[in-house]
Chains A and B, each alone.
Chain A
């Protein structure tokens, strides 16, 4: 068997393991956040999260 150590990517998957989160708890994650934990596989609005550090109005 060829050693495989070198094949390890520097960054692990961007996709979190959602099998460990009960479905009932899942909607606590916002769409933006789901877009992030699902990695880059999603099309559409979830791939366009809110700007980070966004303005918070309070008037």
Chain B
């Protein structure tokens, strides 16, 4: 090795069959310079599979990888047959079982894809990508059987099978090789019709010696072709993921391209041929005969040998490995010189710009100019805290301005989460075509509100349980199709985006029409309240969706035959509001219709503070104790009295904590009563700004709970932005959170001990116990060795903050 650090591979292309049942004239495997396929076994022998699986497992162990992907490839992998593929999949699964997460994909031309194959893939969660070059005309230009017959019908039949409800979760996308003779928009739209989650638009493999056809003679035929699709894609609201565009956008935003075709990220893959030999990259077949060869194989060599091979190493060195022209190019971080194979020219080898250079430059520049905010905003440092704010938090305090900075960072996060759930929902197999339409309608309302009435959007995005909802959706998507997972509930959770959009519309827009799920027997307007309609929830056989129409003065809710209207001004004022039954045309009916009740989110108020008493949100049950059901008016009154008294205590005696609470505490969620005598409260990392409390009898205890729990809220916000410890060490967060809350508790009891209005001895004892405990926890943290340098300094500030508190106020 040349002294560089070896970058492990996490993707392995396993050639399971070296022949194909089609004879596409643009195929790089058979039609290119490299003809090594001729000497290889057709189907991969079982000993090659077992050795390949063993080598991957060995690599995972050596480099402690948490996830790898294996692509079953060919030729045509389905030629191996169902039983053959099952044996390969099982071999890979058992070799990697317990070692890391294994994702298997298969790339096929689709013509042999039957239900039996799909069942196998569904059983083993194998993602299926199918090659199709567009509509019939486009596809038949190249993708034909040996006798000249079209492959279009069998391929489309296979794709429709994959897109069916039964197999949608294994349908990973379509791969289309570009031919600029085809109409780009027609190609795009015909592929879109087949509902892929992802599209790959692939530049045909070419080199300077064998350049691609350029019939238009503009010199940028491929850029122009892709730009036509990009513009359509953007105008259509990005209805599908397109890898080429995603890669460019990701690199414009300072990230990795995620593909070997673009960008500067090191290549981290290895190819295993059917005879067990390792190859560098499939695309190199286009350069010259023998170009991909490494002279290494699974029987004799570990994968580390492949990664040390000079050809692979050259593709891991980033900008340093590029030609002089590329190194000086303004778009090099997005382009990376294009695909390695496309740089080849006899004589200078790979030390050239891409044969697609002019196309790549034009395409990248176009995308950058069409997405100026993405390129600018994501390329900048994120919402960091000011020095002062960070220092204040480290002492356990933090004023209104510091908390305001955390709140702004959470807004940014909330916007990202909304987008993440929207995209995840569109791509999710649990959401059908109607569900996708509803998600698009919700997104449209949110996007317009963002431009027209940002305040309304911010209010809803700032709600603590928006993040709880998003986290639940995104976590759930990892379990789609798994036994015990409730897909119906997940679909309803994703549909809640409609309810979020409805709440934004009620707060800010003139008119909107949205579909929302019925959750926990109610139609929700998050942060505003809920209409209890008395139906079941998803997963209980009572799944239902309601339509919400926002008008100037009314909000109408339609559910089955039921039809109600609510006064929009009263909803916004948080006042009790009658849900009036209407006819289908919207006129009032008297004495008919199902009885329903509007339950507004009540506000707890005291001088200088206003907090939602959140007992309706369907995602509030995220604290350690179960959330209490909706409070009666009498119980809510008791909460208000306790809150007022607790706030008075805070303002009078613990004033240092008041500004932060007033600035950042947005919701109090009643929890189920604690076992007799014990106080119960909790803050959730995924619910910034909310505190869950089982109401104690003593307002002083409520003041203590609010003060201490808000410590967790603040520290959670800081941890969202900075690494204070090694994230792999889960105990650290618990310790740090514990010590951080104790800082506030010790301060609280120090003051109480000095007041003399309670049992002085009890307060002094509490203080002594807490101080000892906090000091010990901080020492444990510092000694554990997994604090980052910032974490060490943070802990040191905490330690210094404890010292003077031994004196009673």
In the assembly, what is the distance between CA of A39 and CA of B409, in Å? 12
- Expressed in whole angstroms, the minimum distance between the Cβ of B625 and any Cβ of chain A is 22
In the assembly, what is the distance between CA of A6 and CA of B753, in Å? 35
Which A1-34 residues have C-beta < 8 A from chain B? 1-2, 4-34
In the assembly, what is the distance between CA of A26 and CA of B380, in Å? 16
Q: Is the CB of B249 within 8 A of A27?
A: no
Question: Using Cβ atoms and an 8 Å threshold, which residues of chain A touch B29?
Answer: 59
Q: Helix, strand, loop or mixed for chain A's interface?
A: loop
Interface flags for B110-131 (1: CB within 8 Å of A; 0: not) read 0000000000000000000101
User: B727 within 8 Å of A by Cβ?
Assistant: yes
Closest A residue to B143 by beta carbon equals: A59
Q: Is the CB of B415 within 8 A of A19?
A: yes
Question: Using Cβ atoms and an 8 Å threshold, which residues of chain A touch B259?
Answer: 53-54, 56
Q: Is the CB of B722 within 8 A of A13?
A: yes
Q: Is the CB of B424 within 8 A of A31?
A: yes
- Expressed in whole angstroms, the minimum distance between the Cβ of A47 and any Cβ of chain B is 8
Question: Using Cβ atoms and an 8 Å threshold, which residues of chain B touch A18?
Answer: 377, 412-413, 415-416, 419
Question: Using Cβ atoms and an 8 Å threshold, which residues of chain B touch A5?
Answer: 387
Given A2, A13, A26, A46, which contacts B474 in the complex, CB threshold below 8 Å? A46
Say whether, besides A10-B789, A59-B29, A27 and B419 are in contact (CB < 8 Å): yes
Q: Is the CB of A44 within 8 A of B253?
A: no
Q: Is the CB of A2 within 8 A of B391?
A: yes
Closest B residue to A49 by beta carbon equals: B258
Given A12, A20, A53, which contacts B256 in the complex, CB threshold below 8 Å? A53
Question: Using Cβ atoms and an 8 Å threshold, which residues of chain A touch B419?
Answer: 18, 23, 26-27, 29, 34
Question: Using Cβ atoms and an 8 Å threshold, which residues of chain B touch A46?
Answer: 420, 424, 474
User: B516 within 8 Å of A by Cβ?
Assistant: no
Q: Is the CB of B475 within 8 A of A44?
A: yes
Given B28, B69, B384, which contacts A59 in the complex, CB threshold below 8 Å? B28
Taking each of B10, B255, B476, B723, which has the highest tally of chain A beta carbons within 10 Å of its own beta carbon?
B255
In the assembly, what is the distance between CA of A17 and CA of B415, in Å? 10
Closest A residue to B29 by beta carbon equals: A59
Q: Is the CB of A56 within 8 A of B255?
A: no
Question: Using Cβ atoms and an 8 Å threshold, which residues of chain A touch B68?
Answer: 51
Question: Using Cβ atoms and an 8 Å threshold, which residues of chain B touch A55?
Answer: 11, 13, 71, 260, 269, 271, 281-282
Say whether, besides A38-B420, A57-B175, A17 and B246 are in contact (CB < 8 Å): no
- Expressed in whole angstroms, the minimum distance between the Cβ of B304 and any Cβ of chain A is 17
Q: Is the CB of A48 within 8 A of B101?
A: yes
Say whether, besides A23-B450, A45-B477, A54 and B11 are in contact (CB < 8 Å): yes
> How many A residues touch B, CB cutoff 8 Å?
57
In the assembly, what is the distance between CA of A10 and CA of B10, in Å? 28
In the assembly, what is the distance between CA of A12 and CA of B387, in Å? 12
Q: Is the CB of B11 within 8 A of A31?
A: no
Given A11, A16, A27, A43, which contacts B238 in the complex, CB threshold below 8 Å? A27
Q: Is the CB of B71 within 8 A of A57?
A: yes
Q: Is the CB of A51 within 8 A of B382?
A: no
Q: Is the CB of B373 within 8 A of A15?
A: no
> How many B residues touch A, CB cutoff 8 Å?
109
User: B408 within 8 Å of A by Cβ?
Assistant: yes
In the assembly, what is the distance between CA of A35 and CA of B258, in Å? 13
Q: Is the CB of A35 within 8 A of B420?
A: yes
- Expressed in whole angstroms, the minimum distance between the Cβ of A11 and any Cβ of chain B is 8
In the assembly, what is the distance between CA of A43 and CA of B457, in Å? 24
Q: Is the CB of A15 within 8 A of B475?
A: no
Say whether, besides A37-B416, A45-B424, A27 and B237 are in contact (CB < 8 Å): yes
- Expressed in whole angstroms, the minimum distance between the Cβ of B703 and any Cβ of chain A is 28
Q: Is the CB of B260 within 8 A of A54?
A: yes
Closest A residue to B75 by beta carbon equals: A59
User: B261 within 8 Å of A by Cβ?
Assistant: yes
Closest A residue to B426 by beta carbon equals: A27
Question: Using Cβ atoms and an 8 Å threshold, which residues of chain B touch A40?
Answer: 727
Which B471-529 residues have C-beta < 8 A from chain A? 471, 474-478
In the assembly, what is the distance between CA of A1 and CA of B397, in Å? 14
Interface flags for B364-403 (1: CB within 8 Å of A; 0: not) read 0000000101101110111110011011001000000000
In the assembly, what is the distance between CA of A26 and CA of B551, in Å? 28
In the assembly, what is the distance between CA of A43 and CA of B373, in Å? 26
Q: Is the CB of A21 within 8 A of B249?
A: no
- Expressed in whole angstroms, the minimum distance between the Cβ of A6 and any Cβ of chain B is 6
- Expressed in whole angstroms, the minimum distance between the Cβ of B801 and any Cβ of chain A is 11
Given A1, A8, A15, A50, which contacts B412 in the complex, CB threshold below 8 Å? A15
Say whether, besides A23-B447, A43-B475, A30 and B250 are in contact (CB < 8 Å): yes
Given contacts A4-B391, A56-B259, 15 further A-B contacts (CB under 8 A): A1-B388, A13-B722, A14-B382, A16-B412, A21-B373, A23-B447, A27-B238, A29-B374, A37-B253, A37-B382, A39-B382, A53-B268, A54-B69, A56-B261, A58-B203
What are 17 A-B pairs at a CB distance below 8 A? A9-B722, A13-B382, A14-B382, A16-B378, A16-B412, A18-B412, A21-B378, A24-B237, A28-B245, A33-B249, A34-B420, A37-B255, A44-B474, A50-B258, A52-B266, A57-B175, A57-B200
A interface residues, Cβ below 8 angstroms from B: 1-2, 4-46, 48-59
5 A-B pairs closest in CB distance: A13-B382, A4-B387, A20-B377, A23-B450, A4-B391
